[in-house]
Amino acid sequence: METVRKFRFKGFDSKNLKIIIGLLSLFIVLIVFAMLRDTDKLITHKQANALYNKEKIKKLIVDGEYIRIKTDEGQYKVYKDAINKNAFFSKYPVEVKEEPSHLYDLFSLLVLVGAFIFLFRFMKESRMQQIRQIEAVQQGSEAKDSPIRPMRSNVTFDDVAGIKDVKEELEEIIDFLREPQKYRELDIRLPKGVLLVGPPGVGKTLISKAVAGEAGVPFFYQSGASFVHIYVGMGAKRVSELFTKAKQYAPSIIFIDEIDAVGKSRGEFRNDEREATLNQLLTEMDGFEDSSGVIVIGATNKIDVLDEALLRAGRFDRRIHISLPDLEDRAKTLELYLAHKPNKVDIEYVARMTVGFNSAALDTLTNEAAIHAMREGRNVVETSDFEAVKEKVLLGKRKILSFTEEERKIQALYQGAKAVVATWLDVEFEKIGIVTTRLLMQEHEILSRSVLLNRIKVYLAGSIATQIHYNEQFTNASHDIMQAKELVRKVIYEYSMSENFIVTPAEEEALMRESVSELKALLKTLDRALKEVSAYLLEHENITHEACRKILLEIF
């Protein structure tokens, strides 16, 4: 019996003594880490400025990515890029901290890892150990998946050709980021969010980088898809982390590319994770202080699918539409891409032959032309190189429109008819071009039947004009006809603007026929104006409301 007791006692000692030693080692390492741990409180630029203005600062210490602020009440730290270093350094004494040796930290880390390994070996069957392992794996994967770090953009508006209107829209945003105090003194509130809307490849991401580069502020890039996780709550957590980090580095820019991936309308096709992420995004934008110094820029090519709550005032207050580059924009873009390439290129000729190309396609075309010149044994790019590779680029970019000379004439007549009819019927538009139509959205809550019918006629004008002049129908009218039908449906059913209380599909057909009949008569009256506007479009590719009105006034 005594032998058995001794055996058990020895077994207890040999097994548990090692566990106790491992725990003591771990405890000692934790004490060392606690002693060396950075206890300085991290503050925002606003809190740092408050200490600066109240003259509570005794000393500044430059320590890696932080600036440590010593005061009588305690010691704080702030990110180096979050404050005006020139102002702080000129007013208070500064000390530069030597970079400490990492050998001790590495040794402590190895001891800590060794202690954990030691414990895991002898406590394998413990339930607590399994839970810790699962938590460690989860925490490690989270930290690995979402490192949110600011970037510094070297891109400026000199690197972005064309888009003059867009640059003007963003100038005051840049000025606010450069000198926020000037706006605060006048109690001016800048938009919290800017939404860039346009087709793929027009340079939305490049424009946002240029804004950050021009303003000289940190730039946080995230794609909408990066917020969408399989685990519920992870997307919302990442949104929260992103905004917290951006506020620490303020003034700063958050750029969310393809925001429609997370900002789609909440409807019948529910997705709890995406909705939780969207709700968190809405909450963060609502929680912004007016002077927080953080601007959110979103980019999308599907504004129609975005949730209404995301588009309301106080969130994305400003929307900037970026269309495909016109003739002048393409010429400037090509000039920029050819600036560092020896060339003898007729830029205007290449710009004219690339109708419908976006900025990305022009970049590809220029690069392919340079490669073609090199294959031909030349060190100078020529116009013929662009002609040789144009089809290759088009085959790789099937969505790019490219018109023959005859198709350009048809499209100029088609779009010209819309411009002439819109001007005559007072349907406002910003710009109508060979490849774009930008009617201004109605901001009124109450619209008359006449206003809606005029918009229907604008959508149908191109189709009727080409039928009159060519006695033929063309496929380019399909989208406009669909929009006209949709507006007719709303007039009859949604707005109940029919003469009868009980409506039938026959009334839709009757309204369409009535609009077509009136349009034919109107286009015959405006025939001379239509020819001049079409010629103008062939030459300039775009026409504004004012330019079209001027042509009409000269004729009538």
Tens-place pLDDT, residues 254-265? 888 888 888 777
Question: What CATH topology corresponds to 405-555?
Answer: Methane Monooxygenase Hydroxylase; Chain G, domain 1 (1.20.58)
| Fold of the CATH domain 327-396 | Helicase, Ruva Protein; domain 3 (1.10.8)
Q: What is the pLDDT of residues 78-136, one digit of tens each?
A: 887 778 777 788 888 888 776 554 555 566 666 666 666 666 565 555 544 444 444 44
Let me know: does 519 contact 421? Beta carbons within 8 Å: yes
Predicted pLDDT of residue 80: 79
DSSP 8-state assignment for residue 76: E
Q: What is the pTM of this model?
A: 0.53
The pLDDT of residue 549: 94
Q: Write out the CATH class of domain 41-96.
A: alpha beta
Those residues with Cβ within 8 angstroms of residue 411's Cβ, 6 or more apart along the chain or in another chain: 403, 434, 435, 476
List Cβ neighbours of 537 (8 Å cut-off, separation of 6 or more). Answer: 412, 415, 416, 419, 433, 434, 543
Per-residue DSSP letters for 478-530?
HHHHHHHHHHHHIIIIIS--SSSSS--HHHHHHHHHHHHHHHHHHHHHTHHHH
User: What pLDDT does residue 3 have?
Assistant: 42
91 half-sphere exposure, CB direction, 13 A CA radius: 15
What is the SS3 assignment for 537? Answer: helix
What's the pLDDT score for residue 444?
60
The residues, ordered by sequence, that sit 6+ positions from 238 with a Cβ below 8 Å of its Cβ are: 146, 148, 222, 226, 227, 229, 277
> Where are the strands (E) in 308-416, listed by range?
318-321, 343-344, 381-382
| Residues 71, 68: Cα–Cα separation, whole Å | 10
Which tokens go with 512? 């369409």
pLDDT of residue 439: 73
Domain 157-321 = CATH 3.40.50.300? yes
pLDDT at residue number 328:
86
Do the domains 157-321 and 327-396 sit in the same CATH topology, yes or no? no
Sorted by where each begins, the domain ranges of the chain are 2-36+103-145, 41-96, 157-321, 327-396, 405-555
* The pLDDT value given to residue 309: 81
**Identity of residue 77:** K
SS3 344: strand
Residues of the chain scoring pLDDT < 70:
1-38, 98-147, 228-233, 266-273, 287-292, 391-402, 438, 440-445
pLDDT number for residue 135: 45
